[in-house]
Structure 1
């Protein structure tokens, strides 16, 4: 009986170490996003800036479309994903000197903000809404791996 208890304690120890490592990994990633870059602002500072700067530019239709597009994200992470995507959409809108967030700007920003694996769902959702994806093919072709680092220069090509 004590051998079984010993094994359970060992297994429980590994589970706890594993869970702590996973939590530590996510905390460390958040810490790295808070570190200031060359311009003195962190990634999260810029995200907050773009969301706040463009919050009055969103129409109800675009807010609903964004909610629909982030629906496959697990609910625990949905707010974070929505915030990141909304900040990238806002950045694109400001870069293009838009006064409102349009469907085109929303889709461009969504593509830029998300990894390539999420684009399959986006294509499916856009097809359901009868939105043509041809104008966005150049953005789909550039995966986030290639696009995220120097996206502004590549976006302007």
Structure 2
């Protein structure tokens, strides 16, 4: 005797859900693993991110932090800290490579555009319009 049919379907659906959730979790863990692998220069993407953040940390004012927090507010809370760190790393990279003495709103917006996928740019455009910030200088990056 194999049991009631509803129980058999429950088992099938349970295993499908379990395998699906494990595959999704594995995908995100594998992405993080790839970012932690050292590149040809001996540093990983995460190492460079941390380096750029440390190099520019003294340039961040409360106003800059508030702007970044506002820009990442559409990101789900679970992923928001990771998104902020990634974006801050890209902003730091821009500042270091340009040898800028101050962090500007322009750096923050360009860093956000470069660090995020194109599908997220619509949220950035909406936030910039809410803050009455002209997006025309960034049209080339947004394409």
TM range (shorter): over 0.9
Report deviation, 1:53. 1.4
2:83 matched residue in structure 1: 81
What is the aligned counterpart of 1:40 among 39, 42, 47? 42
List alignment gaps of at least 5 residues for structure 2: none
TM-score (norm 2): 0.94
Instruction: Please give the alpha-carbon distance, in whole angstroms, between the structure 2 residues aligned to 1:7 and 1:131.
Output: 55
What is the aligned counterpart of 2:5 among 3, 6, 9? 3
What is the aligned counterpart of 1:28 among 18, 27, 30? 30
List alignment gaps of at least 5 residues for structure 1: 142-157
1:131 matched residue in structure 2: 133
* Larger Cα-atom Rg: 2
Report deviation, 1:126. 1.2
- CA-atom RMSD in angstroms: 1.1
Between the two proteins, the alignment pairs up a number of residues equal to: 141
TM-score (norm 1): 0.86
After TM superposition, the runs of 4+ consecutive aligned structure 1 residues lying more than 6 A away are none
